[in-house]
């Protein structure tokens, strides 16, 4: 059972946009969009329209609704949220209850960690599958730059022979 969907924004991987209203309508589950900075839905729509004809199809895109703010910690910075399917008061409680070690709700924080780990794994796998040579910085012709994945010990250097 899902109590709420919580996302850290409505755009992914650049300007791939989800419509929280559609997801809520199809699932019936309250939808919360969290942000550490005050969202500007008009600017997002303007940017979409400027880079793609698909932006025109967004029409009167309104995000998830009215933007609310709260502080999850008494002395902390404000966070911002939009909610569909429940009250702002309930949403504020959900966000405060789920912010354990930072003002980022724990599900959003952990999802970010998983995503970074998967992205790293995909890059390592790509290096191996494509047989890409990795620079260890030891070749004088290489400019001395070390591949970041090698530097972190995630891949092995190319063999010298």
- pLDDT computed for residue 40 by the predictor: 81
pLDDT at 156 over 60: no
- pLDDT computed for residue 122 by the predictor: 76
Q: Is the pTM of this model over 0.85?
A: no
**Exposed / middle / buried, residue 111 (Cβ in 10 Å: 0-12, 13-18, 19+):** middle
pLDDT at 118 over 70: yes
pLDDT at 141 over 50: yes
- Which residue would you say has higher pLDDT here, 12 or 103? 103
DSSP per-residue string spanning the chain: --S-EEES-SEETTTEE--HHHHHHHH---EEEEESS---HHHHHHHHHHH-GGGGGGTT--TTSS-EEEESSTTSPEEEEEEESS-HHHHHHHHHHH-SSSSS-HHHHHHHHHHHHHHHHHHHHHHHHHT-----S--GGGTTPPPHHHHTTSSPPPPP-
Q: What are phi and psi of 131, to 5 degrees?
A: 65, 30
pLDDT at 102 over 50: yes
Worst-scoring range by mean pLDDT, 7-21, 124-138, 147-161? 147-161
- pLDDT average, residue stretch 20-43: 87
């Amino acid at each position: 059972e899902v109590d709420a969907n919580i996302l850290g924004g409505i755009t992914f991987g650049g300007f791939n946009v989800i419509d929280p209203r559609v997801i809520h309508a199809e699932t019936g589950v309250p939808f919360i969009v969290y942000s550490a900075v005050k969202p500007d839905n008009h600017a997002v729509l303007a940017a979409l329209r400027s880079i793609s004809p698909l932006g025109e199809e967004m029409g009167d895109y309104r995000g998830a609704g009215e933007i609310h703010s709260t502080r999850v910690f008494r002395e902390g910075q404000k966070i911002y949220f939009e909610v569909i399917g429940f009250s702002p008061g309930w949403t504020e409680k959900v966000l405060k209850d789920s912010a354990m070690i930072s003002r980022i709700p724990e599900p959003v924080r952990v999802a970010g960690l998983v995503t970074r780990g998967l992205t790293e794994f995909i890059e390592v796998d790509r290096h191996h599958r494509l047989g890409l040579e990795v620079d260890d910085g030891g070749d004088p012709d290489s400019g001395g730059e070390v591949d970041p994945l090698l530097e972190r010990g995630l891949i092995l250097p190319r063999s010298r022979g």
